[in-house]
Chain A
């Protein structure tokens, strides 16, 4: 059905359509509308989930872990300080191999207190073992959330998925949204190690050095499987519902000499900058990273790369720029822009690309 929705409402609608057994929720700006809307769906009988209003984000993830461990689908949403508060439990969900789905409204960390978009919150959780996808429109927020359940619960994955959407820039804007009837696109969840009182077993016990690394390797093996599961799921989604997605979204990349890499809504704005640059004779292309974990294979051979990081690792650099630098031997101009909701326009982006200095780092608004 075609309607309009905010990014937050789109996530809530996808959750309604995926019917998790348990939703554990703690509000935080700018995701609050997600858990409010889900609460409405549960209260009005449109969604038959157990809704647990917990006392903190750490508890929200703990409740999802408890629910998921019994073999049922679980969802929560958070943002920024809420996400980092649940950090311990994020690692736990991965180690316990629980396919929880969570939406994260990307928001800067304080102080200075700030409620606007930045990716440092989720990127600082990149080593937890959660799959991470970053979306660039209201429709994509819905589609990615729906697909996240199928990907997480796939027998070859069994890892949690974090769907990231830019705070305010996407959570609070209204665009068209076409919801679907998922039917058997999301099969019932089957967790091989679900707690079963008829088959008692020990969970979370001491794991000695002789065994621990095997579990770590098993997580990595599943993460390596995840890329093909993601691609197969996205292809199947496209066949059934007509909207196709890749690990990245590429725009005018094939013959590009300089490729701009960004994530989230900035990655969409880049496409307009690319059109402007092409009009000025600069052979530019856009490569919006959708998935950050697992990290996709990128075709960057022979190209110059401008990476726009809406994040930063202090004492090191832009997190996306360094991820690319570690995998690809290409000249990179690293731009740090959009922190804490800093306004970045397509004209600004076109300027970064025109004035690029491969090998350098440039802080938008700070450097000359």
Chain B
């Protein structure tokens, strides 16, 4: 089972990202659970979503304490949140950043999701859409295939630029 924790801010699409990743996994015949942690969030506040992917039905409902992968959609949450808390020793990190970031020696991948969204003018209510390019980066990291990512995006959004954004992130992801 892969356990993934996603850090973002309210309104950045983290919950939808978790759902799309679950959908992509299910389209591959796997089982998945996506769960947002609901507290007293509001737009702009640091929020967390969880995704579990497994080959068998998932019976765990408690929060993920030892993630295999930590995703950071907005690096500014790292000023107040310890995003590496509980991460497995060999746990990986994926950060929305144009530059490499040192995450205490954990294998860390980066891609400029914000830049990709802006380059395609994928913006809703003034916010760049980060979750569809994120799907491309996750496909490149091997959690799901690009085909199922493409399918999940197309089932969720009608605008073709979302798939294009995923394609760009797939190509631009660096470690």
Contacts and interface: CB of A to CB of B under 8 A. Distances in A.
A96 interface: no
A259 B22 CA distance: 33
Contacts of A175: 22, 31-34, 58
B61 A173 contact: yes
Contacts of B31: 175-176
B127 interface: no
Given A172-B38, A174-B35, A345-B65, A268 B59 contact: yes
B85 to A, nearest CB: 14
Given A173-B33, A173-B35, A269 B26 contact: no
B125 interface: no
A22 to B, nearest CB: 30
Interface string B61-82: 1110100000000000000000
Interface in A308-344: 343-344
A266 B65 CA distance: 17
Contacts of B5: none
Interface in B5-43: 18-19, 22-23, 26, 31-36, 38
Contact of A168 (B26, B34, B38, B62): B38
B32 A173 contact: no
A305 to B, nearest CB: 20
Given A4-B26, A174-B22, A176-B26, A268 B61 contact: yes
Interface in A265-306: 265-266, 268-269, 271-272
A173 to B, nearest CB: 4
A174 B58 contact: no
B36 A172 contact: yes
Taking each of B18, B19, B62, B65, which has the highest tally of chain A beta carbons within 10 Å of its own beta carbon? B62
A172 B62 CA distance: 13
A115 to B, nearest CB: 8
Interface residues of B, number: 20
A2 B29 CA distance: 10
A365 to B, nearest CB: 14
A266 to B, nearest CB: 8
A169 interface: yes
Q: Do most interface residues of chain B lie in helix, strand or loop, or is the interface mixed?
A: mixed
Contacts of A344: 62
Interface in A2-33: 2-4, 30
A253 interface: no
Contact of A346 (B19, B32, B34, B60): B60
A235 to B, nearest CB: 21
Taking each of A30, A172, A176, A346, which has the highest tally of chain B beta carbons within 10 Å of its own beta carbon? A176
A182 B17 CA distance: 32
Contacts of B26: 2, 4, 176
A93 interface: no
A30 B58 CA distance: 22
A37 to B, nearest CB: 15
Contact of A269 (B19, B38, B62): B62
A137 to B, nearest CB: 8
Interface in A109-146: 115, 137
A4 B22 contact: yes
B35 A269 contact: no
Contacts of A3: 23
A288 to B, nearest CB: 10
Interface in A154-197: 166, 168-170, 172-176
B61 A170 contact: yes
Nearest to B65: A345
Contacts of A115: 38
A140 B32 CA distance: 15
Nearest to A115: B38
Interface of B: 18-19, 22-23, 26, 31-36, 38, 57-63, 65
Interface of A: 2-4, 30, 115, 137, 166, 168-170, 172-176, 265-266, 268-269, 271-272, 343-346
28 contacts: A4-B23, A4-B26, A4-B32, A137-B57, A170-B61, A172-B35, A172-B38, A173-B33, A173-B35, A173-B36, A173-B61, A174-B18, A174-B19, A174-B32, A174-B33, A175-B22, A175-B31, A175-B33, A176-B22, A176-B26, A176-B32, A266-B61, A268-B60, A269-B59, A269-B60, A269-B62, A271-B59, A343-B62
Given A168-B38, A266-B61, 10 more contacts: A166-B61, A172-B36, A174-B19, A174-B33, A175-B33, A176-B26, A176-B32, A265-B61, A344-B62, A345-B62
